[in-house]
Structure 1
Amino acid sequence: MQSGHPTPSANSYTLAELVGNIAQTDGDYSTHIPGLMIYRRSRVTDPMPCIYGLGLGVTVQGGKRVMLGEEIFDYAPGQSLVTSLDLPVVSYVTRASSAQPFLGMGLALDARVITQCAAEMNFSTPLKASTSLAMSVVTLDEGLLDAITRLVRLQDEPQLIPLVAPLIQQEIIVRLLNGEHGPALRQLMTAGSPGQQIAKLIAWLKQHYTEDIAMDDLADKAHMSPSTFRQHFRAVAGMSPLQYLKHLRLQDARQLMLNEDIDASSAALRVGYESASQFSREYTRLFGAPPLRDIKRVRLAT
């Protein structure tokens, strides 16, 4: 379990004020800055399965927990979470109240910018040969916190956003690569590394998960033996390839039922299930309720 509550700095209080001004009531807020989202919750939330993409998350006030397979990440104010590829997780707010609501922010990261910056940087420590989990929680250093604060503050100067935001976002990526999040980001951008092979395979899976896929065929695509492939996949994604495939299918089926108002059997077929009963069992295991009841519950909550 990752935990620990760093002492908030003056910049942390400034960021909390800026975020609180944007999110004055509960909800998810898009901003004028591409890729930047702000979140506010005035009470703890139920665990919610979702997909975290390549990005940076920061808890500004309150507390949050993210579960990836058997790994548990708790992060508090002054801590950052980086996800270096698309991962199915379960996340929820653990500390929030009306007086002290949870405040958080998420920033999508650009893989091309990460690759370009990493190629131009000289790193003092070489990458280890082993693959590491594509998610990490570390304490924000003052330089990174300052850059994030300046990015959020740009919301008040919309005329500067097109020119200045990309520069600050690039600075954030450089600081991430240079800090404790760096190894996880670099391993997925290093040509020929096992981490990059898994990242490419996951990108392929996202496009083809509705198809009938044999796990040994995935190993062939990654140019690994089946046992080595499973080992590297679990090391990066926190779960087996089969679990990952199930998460993709079930998450998509849920969105289909919510957005297109189709029944569970139709959704199951659309995402690649041949058995409606197997779909219902696995859906219930992931979301905590059968499809019909879960969809009703989500609609009542929104």
Structure 2
Amino acid sequence: MERLDELTGLIERHGRPGAFRTPVPRLTLVRQDGPADRVDLHYSTMMCLVAQGQKSFTDTFVGAGEVFLSILDTYVLADMSAGYRAAVLEIETSLLLDILTADPLPPPSGVPRAFAKAGADAALVDAVTRWVRLLDEPDTAAALAPLVEREVLIRLLTGPLGATLRAGVRSRPVVEVRAAVTFIVEHLTEPFTVGDVARAAHVSEATLFRLFKATLGVTPVQYRQAHRLQRARSLLAAGAHTAESAALAVGYRSASQFGHDYRARYGRTPGRDREHLMRPDVRATATRLLSF
């Protein structure tokens, strides 16, 4: 697709190794020059249009010309191909709600998955390309970027991912999971029970478990563990922490449990992984992607 070639060129010109937050609000460019395995990614409510290459995590594979949508904060391990290029929109909930005031469709029923993907049609690719192209026009970007961003959201709402995007702000189960996620993140380093999380979301423990498995594919405890481990890995990558101090900083009370969980997720002990992350050829990408 010709537009994808242009978008790829724009990302190569304006991007940086890893994830680069551009001067255009809520626009991030991802440029992965070499292959990357078991990379930590933090997904918030966002859209990612892949211009070149592919990435995969759990049961999801996204390739060039496809758009990936996330409607909940979560933490995944991804593999990326060499030459991966993507443009990311961090979706502003207030803007989406403003657009939806004129939307006649009712809130979606059922419990949606947190992730969805679809092929990107020509209109969406064109809108995203024009949005990224504003980086070449700093004098007009401030005035035009909000208009093009709004168009991108409208293109998403009128495409195959529209129902998932609506669910991100209108679905009661998503609102309940988001409340639980917020509680977990805000109390990450503190001891708490699943019952505490359920009360924060105003649901029963059984309902909380069911909603997490349906939307995110993990239990609340597994969600907390993934977030703790990703934050610990980010601290190790920054070079200021040992394995023991990183474990304590993210809420682990047992160094042996931390080591067990860390190796199960990343395939290396915390100490060995710290050595790997501190390598010059790895660190530049790792430190930019771990918090993305």
Structure 1 position 19, deviation (Å): 2.4
Structure 1 position 32, deviation (Å): 2.4
Alignment partner of 2:42 out of 16, 28, 51: 51
Report the secondary structure of 1:188's partner residue. helix
User: 1:184 and 2:164 equivalent?
Assistant: yes
Instruction: Tell me, in whole angstroms, the C-alpha distance in 2 between the residues paired with 1:184 and 1:36.
Output: 21
Describe the superposition over 1:226-255 as per-residue Cα deviations: whole angstroms up to 9, x where unpaired. Answer: 111111111112211110000111111222
User: 1:271 and 2:250 equivalent?
Assistant: yes
CA contact (8 A) 2:55 2:79 kept: yes
Structure 1 position 26, deviation (Å): 4.9
Structure 1 position 180, deviation (Å): 2.0
In the other structure, the counterpart of 1:142 is: 122
Alignment partner of 1:19 out of 7, 11, 15: 11
Q: Which amino acid is the alignment partner of residue 56 of structure 1? A: M
Gaps of 5+ in 1: 1-8
CA contact (8 A) 2:179 2:200 kept: no
Report the secondary structure of 1:164's partner residue. helix
Report the secondary structure of 1:43's partner residue. coil
Alignment partner of 1:222 out of 192, 197, 201: 201
Alignment partner of 1:211 out of 179, 190, 200: 190
In the other structure, the counterpart of 2:289 is: none
Instruction: Tell me, in whole angstroms, the C-alpha distance in 2 between the residues paired with 1:21 and 1:289.
Output: 35
Deviates more, 1:255-264 or 1:220-229: 255-264
CA contact (8 A) 1:134 1:185 kept: no
Measured on the aligned residues, the alpha-carbon RMSD in Å equals: 1.9
Report the secondary structure of 2:101's partner residue. helix
Deviates more, 1:259-268 or 1:232-241: 259-268
Structure 1 position 119, deviation (Å): 2.8
Alpha carbons of structure 1 residues 159 and 88: separation in structure 2 relative to 1, 3 Å: same
User: 1:200 and 2:179 equivalent?
Assistant: yes
Instruction: Tell me, in whole angstroms, the C-alpha distance in 1 between the residues paired with 2:142 and 2:168.
Output: 28
Structure 1 position 27, deviation (Å): 4.6
Q: Which amino acid is the alignment partner of residue 254 of structure 1? A: R
Instruction: Tell me, in whole angstroms, the C-alpha distance in 2 between the residues paired with 1:188 and 1:200.
Output: 13
Percent identical:
30
5 Å-filtered alignment, 1:1-302, equals 9-23=1-15, 26-67=17-58, 72-94=59-81, 96=82, 101-123=83-105, 126-190=106-170, 193-259=172-238, 261-300=240-279, 301-302=282-283
Gaps of 5+ in 2: 284-292
- How many corresponding residue pairs? 281
Report the secondary structure of 2:218's partner residue. coil
Describe the superposition over 1:188-247 as per-residue Cα deviations: whole angstroms up to 9, x where unpaired. Answer: 3127x1211111221222111111110122122222221111111111122111100001
Q: Which amino acid is the alignment partner of residue 13 of structure 1? A: D
Report the secondary structure of 2:28's partner residue. strand
Describe the superposition over 1:97-136 as per-residue Cα deviations: whole angstroms up to 9, x where unpaired. Answer: xxxx32222221112212222233222xx44421111111
Instruction: Tell me, in whole angstroms, the C-alpha distance in 1 between the residues paired with 2:270 and 2:9.
Output: 40
Q: Which amino acid is the alignment partner of residue 285 of structure 1? A: A
Instruction: Tell me, in whole angstroms, the C-alpha distance in 1 between the residues paired with 2:54 and 2:214.
Output: 26
Alpha carbons of structure 1 residues 14 and 198: separation in structure 2 relative to 1, 3 Å: same
Instruction: Tell me, in whole angstroms, the C-alpha distance in 1 between the residues paired with 2:238 and 2:17.
Output: 22
Instruction: Tell me, in whole angstroms, the C-alpha distance in 2 between the residues paired with 1:245 and 1:36.
Output: 27
Instruction: Tell me, in whole angstroms, the C-alpha distance in 1 between the residues paired with 2:265 and 2:86.
Output: 25
Structure 1 position 137, deviation (Å): 1.0
Q: Which amino acid is the alignment partner of residue 53 of structure 2? A: G
Q: Which amino acid is the alignment partner of residue 130 of structure 2? A: R
Q: Which amino acid is the alignment partner of residue 230 of structure 1? A: F
Higher relative contact order (Cα pairs below 8 Å, separated by 6+ residues): 2
CA contact (8 A) 1:58 1:105 kept: yes
Describe the superposition over 1:143-164 as per-residue Cα deviations: whole angstroms up to 9, x where unpaired. Answer: 2111101101111110111111
